[in-house]
Amino acid sequence: MKTIQAVARYLPEKCGGIQIRLSELLPVLQAYGVESKIAAAQDSKYENTYTHNGIEVYRYPVFPRPKAEPNHGESPHGRFEYFAHWLKEQKADIYHQHQWTPKCGLPHLRLAKELGMATVVSIRLPNPVCQRETLMLNGQEVCDGKIDRVRCSHCCGVSREISDTVIKRLAHTPLSISNLASGLLYQLKKAPAPLNTTATALLTPVSVPAYVVARRRGLLEMAEFADRIVTLSERLYETLLLNGVPQEKLIICKTGVPDVFLTSAQNVKKIPNKNLRVIFLGRWNRNKGLHILVEAVKSLPPDLPIELTIYGSAVDDERYRQKIIQSIKNEPRIRIAETLTREELPSVLATYDILALPAQWFDVRPMSILEAHTAKLPVLGSDVGGVNELIKHNVDGLLLPPTDVQAWAEAFARLSEDPNLLDKLRQGIQPVRTMSMEAADTVTLYKSILKEKAAQTESNFSNPLNFKQVISSR
């Protein structure tokens, strides 16, 4: 079985969880007889090919850099013909796309379908359904994820003084005009007031409603050209249904931790320490909520025994990082450590008492929770989608309001003052899903699609399943 795995960028560039997990999964799939090649975009005029972790990687050129909206890449990006030529030569059985951006979006998926490949799209982030890309309504509360041009427009900054009727009309603005308005707004954001505020008030309604409509259209076009859409969580599955994605296209296949994590974490012995040792893992990005942890620790009595160690990974927002650094200058209980490698992570995790995950967005399936549980660390997590599917409150962790600093501080105080609670949460941790399980389920998925495709070709009709498909446990 030959597969193409498509992403918007790839290692050894600085990448996020999507690329890291894929690089770990593909060698495991190889042991099941699945041959894979990576197709990844790069901001360049030229293509190139190399091998990473035993897998061939084709980097197709994207030039010039496409606009961020519509996010699914409604039109092919510059130099798309390089990707098209390469894909035609592969004659692969399966095309599996892991991102939904102008660099790796609808044109790529549509071409694979036209070439006769079985097509799969994995939705690993909320951006295909959410204009804010967080699934947090007004940035404050969990949203049901239904794409609505009026509600979504208000959520993304369109003034509530503009009537629903006007917003619905503005939603039909040609994308060329919306892109122009968006570009002007970007240029004027740093202009002095009142110019910047006037520009925001005038230009946001011209750009946002049309983008919301394009987002929903892109999602439904994804459903048209994908044989299966893979989700990683129950909540996201329900959100996709709510937005009109056919149930027979959807399947839940959850990610798992690399099997080596189990032995690496179990071989580390915790050194007794009077302090509550808290670890944070994640990018320097406000959506990760590190500022909530910092303020919570700083609000605790000076003599409360707690240590917070920040292992920041990629820097999405340098100003945010600098702000955090400035805020902890006089707080000896908080320190910033060097970024961990994947090899170091299991043994380092096992030396801490608890992982803190103050997500300020819908984190579809945060692997750090499973990695922490593998090392027998309970997790303090935000009570938001994705996170609350992996944490059982008061059993293997605690779920807290994402923006409530006082609630986080009180949780730290409880855990610091009551060691029995920490022991109880440790004992509540159950065995986690592994990458071997994920690989086996992925192979089952691929085989089922190919079998269905062969039957359709032979009989010239489809017989879609009419029930919710789940091929993975926790």
Kindly state the tokens that stand for 151. 């509600």
pLDDT of residue 462: 46
Query: Within the chain, how many helices (H) and strands (E) appear?
Result: 16, 17
Question: What strands lie across the sheet with 35-42, from one edge to the other?
Answer: 48-52, 55-61, 35-42, 2-7, 94-97, 118-123, 228-231, 250-252, 469-470
Question: Which tens digit of pLDDT belongs to each residue from 454-471?
Answer: 988 777 554 555 445 655
pLDDT of residue 469: 62
Predicted confidence pLDDT, tens digits, the chain (474 residues)? 999 999 999 999 988 889 999 999 999 999 999 999 999 999 999 999 999 999 999 999 999 999 999 999 999 999 999 999 999 999 999 999 999 999 999 999 999 999 999 999 999 999 999 999 999 999 888 899 999 999 999 999 999 999 999 999 999 999 999 999 999 998 887 788 888 888 889 999 999 999 999 999 999 999 999 999 999 999 999 999 999 999 999 999 999 999 998 887 666 666 667 899 999 999 999 999 999 999 999 999 999 999 999 999 878 899 999 999 999 999 999 999 999 999 999 999 999 999 999 999 999 999 999 999 999 999 999 999 899 999 999 999 999 999 999 999 999 999 999 989 999 999 999 999 999 999 999 999 999 999 999 988 777 554 555 445 655 544
Q: Do domains 2-130+215-252 and 259-427 have the same CATH topology?
A: yes
How, if at all, do strands 141-142 and 136-137 pair? antiparallel
Least Cα distance to 29 among 58, 5, 13 occurs for 5
pLDDT of residue 264: 77
Q: What are phi and psi of 225, to 5 degrees?
A: -95, -10
Say which residue the tokens 């170091």 belong to.
344
147-168 as b/e, with b when 16 or more CB fall inside 10 Å?
bebbbbbbbbbbeeebeeeebe
Residues 450 and 94: beta-carbon distance below 8 Å:
yes
Provide the CATH topology of domain 2-130+215-252: Rossmann fold (3.40.50)
Question: Which tens digit of pLDDT belongs to each residue from 143-161?
Answer: 999 999 999 999 999 999 9
Least Cα distance to 432 among 403, 391, 384, 462 occurs for 391
pLDDT of residue 431: 94
pLDDT of residue 191: 81
For the chain, domain boundaries: 2-130+215-252, 157-203, 259-427
Provide the CATH topology of domain 259-427: Rossmann fold (3.40.50)
pLDDT of residue 411: 98
pLDDT of residue 131: 96
